[in-house]
Amino acid sequence: MTYLDLIKVALRHHPDILLIGEIRDSQTAQATIQAALSGHLVFSTIHANSASTVGNRLLELGVDKTLLKDVLKVTIYQRLLQQVNGSLAAIADWKEDWQILDQPTSDFGSSWKEVLDGAFKSKRISSKVYEEYKKIAA
């Protein structure tokens, strides 16, 4: 059974929310977009380098940009970073609506650099961790 088959079965049950574990390939990406286009709230995960690059990653997987604009509302990028005290903390940036595809450098949402700068200035992460992960913001 394919992801598309499973999503069709799930949609027959009229769920309020549909959770797709991870988008790894074109077929899953297409099926996820189709589920969202049917009016269902869909959450999923995908590997990307920042909140701003999620849209491009989906485009690389063959999702039509027009359809993506209709359904993609928020992207959140997170990394577990080692804090100064040795524990791990989730550091995240986010984008909402169309800055994801049309305005990747807009002031809406937060940027990875801003979030990382804040974690460093508040002494949550070390300079070593800061230097290692600020490359993502470049």
**Residue 109 pLDDT:** 52
* Residues of the chain where predicted confidence (pLDDT) is lower than 70: 98-110, 137-138
**What does the pLDDT read at residue 108?**
43
Find, among 72, 93, 81, 86, the residue nearest to 137 by Cα. 93
| CA–CA distance, 104 with 126 (Å, rounded to integer) | 28
Beta strands in the chain (DSSP E): 17-20, 41-44, 74-82, 88-96
Taking the C-alpha atoms of residue 50 and residue 55, their distance in angstroms, rounded to an integer, is: 10
> What pLDDT sits at residue 30?
92
Q: What is the predicted pLDDT for the residue at 59? A: 92
Token code pair at residue 137: 């913001």
Question: What's the confidence (pLDDT) of residue 103?
Answer: 58
Can you give the pLDDT at residue 81?
Answer: 95
First to last CA, the chain: 41
Q: What angle do CA 90, 94, 98 make, to 5 degrees?
A: 165
